[in-house]
Structure formats: structure tokens, C-alpha cells
Amino acid sequence: MDRLQTMRTFVRVVDEGSFAAAARLMNVDQAIVTRQVADLERHLSVKLLERTTRSMRLTEAGETFLARCRDILSDLVEAEAQVSQSHQAMTGRVRIAIPTLFGKESLAQQLAGLLQDYPDLTVDMAFIDRPVDPVAEGFDVVITDAAYGVSSLAVARSLAAVPFLLCASAAYVARKGMPQAPADLAAHRAVAQWTSGEPGAAVERWTLEEIGGRAESVTLPVGLRT
């Protein structure tokens, strides 16, 4: 039984003065209206309407229930309107935490378009390159590296996969030589992410994949973490 629908039907029957009139207004068969009110009475274990072939009147329980139904249905309409308006209007302040590079390269243009479409929206964007607790620090949205982990209180979605490339400056290659195979990297020092490996670890373990799909793991000394 759809309790809200049966409440609406009950109110409509009372307002229209008969089951037949309510059915015409709702554009349904009268038997459906009769059954819904009967289902409601059976659910409540109380008679809401006294009916004869020529008249209909509310019982004492029916009068009490009618008043509560009107309040509930009115509150529901108001709640739906408020949510719909807030979604459409998108007003207020949103606090976003985002890594510096991703924010400047990927999000700036998107935000410009968003603020143009919703001029009553204010965005506070903080460039933060560390783990962020959205609850403790008061952020509505946190865009972060998956390596930082996600708060158990957050709703998380994957936005993008960022590939890692193996790079070296021309000056470094001229000084140290170009590695010819993954195993050669053991003789070089890595610039590693702060989020990878163990904090303070002197080595970094990387898994390299060839275009053909073969993977090989190598261990490198770490010279710098950023």
C-alpha cells in the first residue's frame, strides 16, 4: 500500500464530497478510490468515513486523521519545493580543497563557467597538497590523490586516472647516462612523490609496464620527495 497516495485519495474524497467526484477529478475508476480508502482504514484499524448510499460523513477518528493528513501533505509539497529550488538556484558558499597542479590546470576553466551560470554561488578554493579531512577542516568537496586515502564519512568518486611517466633532465642523463633497461635504474636516484612509499624510506619501488603489457618491478634509491 502506498500510504501517501491513500492519504491523498482520502483527502480528495473528503474535499470533493464523494468517491465518484474524487475519482472523476483524479481521472481513475471509482473502484480504485474506494479500494484505497478501504486499504487505509484497514491499515489504521479504524473507520474514517461513515457511508450510506446517499451520504458520507467523517467519523471522529476521520476528522483527526484528516487534519494530520493535510499537515503531512502540505509539508511534503513545501519540502519538495525547497529542495527543487535550492538545486536549481545553486546559491550559497562551497569550500573546495584541491591539489595545486590539478586545480590550476583542470578546474579553473570549469569553475569560471559554473560561476557564470550560477552568479549567486560563491566558491572558496584552497590549493592543498596534503591529506585533507573534510569534516575537521570544513570542506564541502575534496579533490585528492587516491594515495592519501578517503574519509569513511565521505562519498567518493573517481574523477580521472593520471598516468606516471619516467623522466630525466638532459643534464642528468649527460652526467649519469641513459638507462637501457629497468634494472639499470638501481644505479640512479629517484625524485618520488611524498604520498608514495613509506615516509622517510630511502628506497622507492616502482612497477614499469612496457607497451606490450609486460611489467617489471625495480627498486631505486630516493634522492628527493616532493
Indicate whether 77 and 103 sit together in one domain.
Answer: no
> What does the alpha-carbon distance between residue 66 and residue 59 come to, in Å, rounded to a whole number?
10
Would 159 be classed as within a structural domain?
no
Residue 122 included in any domain:
yes
Residue 153 lies in a domain: no
Contact yes or no for 225/194 (Cβ under 8 A): yes
- Which residue range forms the structural domain that includes residue 144? 90-148
Q: Which of 215, 195, 219 is nearest to 206 (CA)?
A: 219
Cα 100 to Cα 80, 145, 155, distances in angstroms: 38, 11, 22
CA 63 to CA 101: how far, in whole Å?
64
**Domains identified in the chain, total number:** 3
- Residues facing residue 189 across a β-bridge: none
In a domain, 163, yes or no: no
CATH number at residue 129: 3.40.190.10
User: Do both 80 and 98 map to the same domain?
Assistant: no
pLDDT at position 133 is: 85
pTM: 0.45
Say if residues 81 and 95 touch (Cβ distance below 8 Å). Answer: no
* CATH number for the domain harbouring residue 36: 1.10.10.10
Q: Which of 87, 108, 125 is the last residue of a domain?
A: 87
Q: Is residue 116 part of a domain?
A: yes
In this structure, the chain runs to a length of 226
pLDDT tens digits in sequence order for the chain, 226 residues long: 888 999 999 999 999 999 999 999 899 999 999 999 999 999 999 999 998 877 889 999 999 999 999 999 999 988 887 777 665 667 788 999 988 877 777 777 778 888 888 888 888 988 888 888 888 888 998 888 776 766 666 777 877 777 777 888 899 899 988 988 888 888 888 887 665 555 556 777 888 877 777 888 888 888 887 7
The DSSP H or E segment spanning 197 is none
* Same domain flag for 48 and 120: no
